[in-house]
Amino acid sequence: MSVQGSSRVITTHRLFEMKQQGEKIAMLTAYDYTMACIIDAAGIDIVLVGDSASNVMAGHETTLPMTLDQMIYHAQSVARAAQNPLIVVDLPFGSYQGNSKEALHSAIRIMKESSADAVKLEGGKEIIESVNRILSAGIPIMGHLGLMPQSIHKYGTYSVRAKEEAEVEKLLEDAHMLEKAGCFALVLEKIPAQLGTRVAKELKIPVIGIGAGNGVDGQVLVSHDMLGLNNTFSPRFLRRYANLYDEMLKAFNNYVADVKSGNFPSENEQY
């Protein structure tokens, strides 16, 4: 089903202005309608329909199993909710690498079928043909460098990236290449704070960090992680703003106990 295009309040141009004016950009992930409604009400600037849905929604160990159809389903649910923020959708693993025509086809499907505003791709030089082709169709792209979870099997670990000089040079070259190609923003994941600051200073487009320090132009976190829905994932960059795992467990425990004891429903909770 195709959805009519939207005109959300936050645009790629507005994000560019925010960087110029030194106004920090707040971004969070969402994968479903209810969460996106709450995040929108909080005044978020960008909602990312991330392929981290593979981990937090589907329970996979990596983001690789996510399909284009699954991303479109999540994006449609979020787009129905979000009026204000820019909606960015991850192109999933296998939908854009190595074949720029397929990349364009994948990006067009996301834009047509979900009513999102932009797509996000992981990588630099190796995917530049796909980046150029998607941009030539007028589809805004957010780049993603540093730790790139779709390449986990290449690196073998989720540890901090770009600690060695060669990787630093490659990241800087890729960042400039993505900006020159026309990407409207860049995510930097899990790199030294000093490098994050340097990239944000060198680029004109907004740089959004996740574990990239405080010298970048904005921050992104996975909503499920910052809400404390998962009590086992604790990287250093993660600040928990709630402890919903404990809250929800308490509520579920109380419900089970009330049903078992006959305490629910009460007189007032029946017809």
Contacts to ligand KIV by CB under 6 A: 29, 48, 50-52, 90, 187, 189, 210, 220, 222
Supply the minimum distance, in Å, between the C-beta of residue 269 and ligand KIV: 39
The amino acid present at 248, given as its one-letter code, is M
Spell 166-198 as b/e; 16+ CB within 10 A means b.
eebeebbebbeebbebebbbbbbbbbbeebbbb
Q: Which is nearer to ligand KIV, 195 or 220 (CB)?
A: 220
Residue with token string 């086992």: 232
User: What is the dihedral angle through the alpha carbons of 96, 100, 103, 105, rounded to the nearest 10 degrees?
Assistant: -150
Supply the minimum distance, in Å, between the C-beta of residue 18 and ligand KIV: 18
Q: 45, 25 in Cβ contact below 8 A?
A: yes
Q: Which of 147, 102, 148, 97 minimizes the C-alpha distance to 122?
A: 148
Centre a 10 Å sphere on the Cβ of residue 199 and count the other Cβ atoms it contains: 27
Supply the minimum distance, in Å, between the C-beta of residue 63 and ligand KIV: 6
Q: Which is nearer to ligand KIV, 179 or 211 (CB)?
A: 211
Query: Could you give the residue ranges of the DSSP H alpha helices within the chain?
Result: 12-20, 33-41, 53-56, 68-81, 100-114, 128-136, 152-155, 165-181, 193-202, 223-226, 244-261
Q: Which is nearer to ligand KIV, 131 or 210 (CB)?
A: 210
Supply the minimum distance, in Å, between the C-beta of residue 236 and ligand KIV: 15
Q: Which is nearer to ligand KIV, 88 or 203 (CB)?
A: 88
Q: Which is nearer to ligand KIV, 48 or 195 (CB)?
A: 48
The single-letter DSSP state of residue 4 is -
Residue with token string 């994000």: 15
Q: Is 189 a catalytic residue?
A: yes
Supply the minimum distance, in Å, between the C-beta of residue 82 and ligand KIV: 16
Catalytic member of 113, 189, 247, 267: 189
Please tell me whether residue 100 adopts helix, strand or coil conformation: helix
Q: 40, 82 in Cβ contact below 8 A?
A: yes
User: Taking CB positions, which residue lies at the least distance from ligand KIV?
Assistant: 50
The structure tokens listed for 216 are 């970048």
Q: Which sequence positions are flagged as catalytic?
A: 189
